Structure 1
């Protein structure tokens, strides 16, 4: 009888240890997956920051070139009308560059958001049993719908700029 108590006690201890290890193993796996997701998200955020920095760099390069050209044109100007024309053209170019800059920033932000949604979609599908993420589909649809509108908005300002350039070149 003492032997059966001991074997029952040993069996229950072994079962408790196995159950504890199973729970610990599942917890460790969940923690590892969460850590991988966090590190992956940081990678996406750093790529987004790089895209934003590139947009800022391009804007600064274009602005430097634009202002250097405007300074040269101002030096060559021979009348007050030319000065006003150069300043107004510079103002229009700056407005156009601001619109382009904001468009690049929004594009970089949307790209980062879409990448995050794409990376979440497989995990959400595994968790929910759904094949695609509704958030990713909505993000893609919104970006597709916004692109022509942003292009049309930019064209609204480039047409007067082209006319001003042609007028300035003919003078």
Structure 2
């Protein structure tokens, strides 16, 4: 009987060790799944951030092409050197303004990516709220910079108009 009870105890201990090993394997598999899911989420976030940056670059290129085309048409119709200087000054002001807009769009894309990466899983509404707040700040900055760019443009346009009138 003593041998039977020892064998029973050994068998039971073996079953307990098997169960512990199975539980350890299940825990390890769960941890591996969580790490792989986190890596996939991170890659998705990086691709979304890249898409936002590419979108900002596309918008900047489209605006720059339109601005250059308009400047070329205006330069063709200029008659005096002062008009040429005025057109170039306006072009410079618009390029500065567009550069600032591009920089702000990049900052917005970066802020959105940072907000997305800092969030715990499944809190998309917090990310949307942070992105909306960032968009509002960017819009306010653009609205604040617009009068300065317009005043600078008017300064050169007025000087060019006076100079052209003096030549005629």
Measured against the shorter chain, the TM-score band is: 0.7 to 0.9
Q: Does 1:86 align with 2:77?
A: no
- After superposition, the Cα gap between the structure-2 partners of 1:165 and 1:46, relative to the gap in structure 1 and judged at 3 Å, is farther
Name the residue aligned to 1:22.
23
Unaligned regions of 5+ residues in structure 1, if any? Answer: 123-132
The CA deviation at 1:37 is 1.1
Q: How far apart are the structure 1 equivalents of 2:154 and 2:97?
A: 14
Q: How far apart are the structure 2 equivalents of 1:52 and 1:144?
A: 15
- After superposition, the Cα gap between the structure-2 partners of 1:48 and 1:18, relative to the gap in structure 1 and judged at 3 Å, is same
Name the residue aligned to 1:60.
61
Poorly superposed stretches of 4+, deviation over 6 Å: none
Secondary structure at 2:112 match in 1: helix
Instruction: Point out which structure has higher relative CO (alpha carbons under 8 A, 6+ apart).
Output: 2
Q: Does 1:116 align with 2:107?
A: no
Name the residue aligned to 1:129.
none
- After superposition, the Cα gap between the structure-2 partners of 1:157 and 1:119, relative to the gap in structure 1 and judged at 3 Å, is farther
- After superposition, the Cα gap between the structure-2 partners of 1:156 and 1:24, relative to the gap in structure 1 and judged at 3 Å, is farther
8 Å Cα contact 2:46-2:113 kept in structure 1: yes
Name the residue aligned to 1:158.
149
8 Å Cα contact 2:89-2:153 kept in structure 1: no
Q: How far apart are the structure 2 equivalents of 1:70 and 1:42?
A: 42
Superposition CA RMSD, Å: 3.1
Q: How does 1:121-140 map to 2 (within 5 A)?
A: none
Q: Number of paired residues?
A: 156
8 Å Cα contact 2:52-2:109 kept in structure 1: yes
With normalisation by structure 2, the TM-score equals 0.78
Secondary structure at 1:48 match in 2: helix
The CA deviation at 1:158 is 3.2
Unaligned regions of 5+ residues in structure 2, if any? Answer: none
Q: How far apart are the structure 1 equivalents of 2:156 and 2:120?
A: 46
8 Å Cα contact 1:96-1:157 kept in structure 2: no
With normalisation by structure 1, the TM-score equals 0.77
The CA deviation at 1:72 is 1.1
